[in-house]
């Protein structure tokens, strides 16, 4: 699903969701698609077919996020990469798996149909910034546990004024220190654009196991103290151009996460699509006896 065409579904992560061993620096590749509202059901059905084909032939891993509060019918397909080279390799792995299942003509037809259901899309390569992130696990197993049990992500897209990146990053480090002092459950994971939009765009992802978790989250002004918080606001007004906030839910039915993430919450990530089969078999046996 990493195929690089305007109508394919590159499957890469904004938030460190596909938890693999980290290199010194890692990249996140995100594909955002806006589905035509009247085609949403048909689009989801084809993605589920793609998920099954990819999974059955040991293809790529990804997690899907659906925007619930924000622009409607928006889906993010995301997965981690350790390098540019891995991003290219993943494309071949994905296409190879799907073509084994559907054949080349079938794969081309499915992808072209998905394109016809899409209003617009955008691909971005991002660099994870654990140095700016609050309570970002250094261990891949810990990352898998956190992400596997996350259900909602509040995503803040921050556009920093040209030339003000260093000042913004100093602010981010102040927030990181305050949040980590407040406790281990305050998670704000940051990434920065590397390609696809200007480099002064940052994403802050706040992870929670439920919407109620956002209600109980600590208030930054209390964590930092009144004076420090006022200083932060003043500097932020000088360096930040715009901020946009969306609320997104994980969509397991459109995802193919790695094993470590699935194992953290298998009942959530592996939907029981075949639950009715035993009942059907039992009914068949009863009919045969009659």
Range with the poorest average pLDDT among 4-18, 84-98, 223-237, 275-289: 4-18
In whole numbers, what is the pLDDT of the chain averaged over residues? Answer: 86
Across residues 241-265, what is the average pLDDT? 96
Q: Which of 20-34, 87-101, 275-289 has the highest mean pLDDT?
A: 87-101
The answer to whether residues 228 and 169 touch, using CB atoms and an 8 Å cutoff, is no
- pLDDT of 7 higher than 80: no
Give the separation between CA 287 and CA 290, rounded to whole angstroms. 5
The answer to whether residues 17 and 29 touch, using CB atoms and an 8 Å cutoff, is no
pLDDT in tens, 101-133: 999 999 999 999 999 999 999 999 999 999 999
* Top-confidence residue, 222 or 21: 222
List Cα–Cα distances, 43 to 35, 72, 190, 244, in angstroms. 8, 14, 30, 26
Residue 1, pLDDT score:
54
- pLDDT of 288 higher than 80: no
Across residues 244-272, what is the average pLDDT? 94
pTM of the model: 0.83
Give the separation between CA 31 and CA 16, rounded to whole angstroms. 14
Across residues 15-23, what is the average pLDDT? 40
Across residues 66-93, what is the average pLDDT? 93
CATH code matching the domain that covers 27-265, chosen among 3.90.550.10, 3.90.1150.10, 3.30.70.100, 3.40.50.1980: 3.30.70.100
Structure token pair of residue 76: 């993010």
Describe the crossing of helices 40-56 and 84-116 by its angle, rounded to 10 degrees: 140
- pLDDT of 287 higher than 70: no
């Amino acid at each position: 699903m990493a195929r690089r065409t305007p109508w394919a579904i590159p499957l890469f992560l904004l938030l460190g969701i596909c938890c693999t061993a980290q290199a010194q620096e890692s990249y996140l590749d995100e594909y955002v698609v806006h589905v035509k509202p009247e085609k949403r059901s048909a689009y989801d059905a084809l993605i589920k077919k793609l998920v099954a084909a990819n999974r059955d032939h040991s293809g790529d891993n990804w997690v899907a996020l659906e925007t619930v509060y924000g622009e409607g019918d928006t889906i993010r397909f995301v997965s981690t990469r350790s390098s540019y080279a891995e991003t290219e390799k993943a494309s071949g792995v994905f296409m190879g798996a799907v073509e084994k299942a559907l054949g080349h003509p079938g794969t081309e037809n499915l992808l072209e149909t998905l394109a016809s259901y899409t209003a617009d899309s955008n691909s971005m390569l991002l660099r994870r910034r654990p140095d700016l992130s609050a309570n970002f696990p250094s261990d891949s197993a810990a990352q898998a546990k956190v992400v596997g049990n996350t259900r909602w992500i509040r995503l803040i897209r921050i556009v920093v004024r040209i030339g003000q990146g260093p000042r913004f990053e100093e602010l981010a480090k102040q927030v990181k220190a305050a949040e980590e002092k407040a406790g281990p459950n305050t998670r704000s994971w940051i990434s920065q654009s590397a390609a696809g939009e200007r480099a002064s765009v940052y994403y802050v992802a706040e992870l929670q196991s439920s919407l109620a978790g956002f209600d109980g989250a600590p208030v930054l002004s209390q964590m930092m103290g009144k004076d420090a918080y006022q200083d932060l606001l003043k500097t932020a007004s000088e360096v930040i151009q715009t901020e946009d906030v969306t609320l997104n839910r994980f969509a397991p039915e459109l995802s193919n996460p790695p094993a470590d993430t699935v194992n953290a919450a298998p009942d959530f990530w592996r939907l029981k699509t075949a639950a009715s089969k035993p009942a059907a078999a039992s009914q068949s046996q009863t009919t045969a006896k009659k």
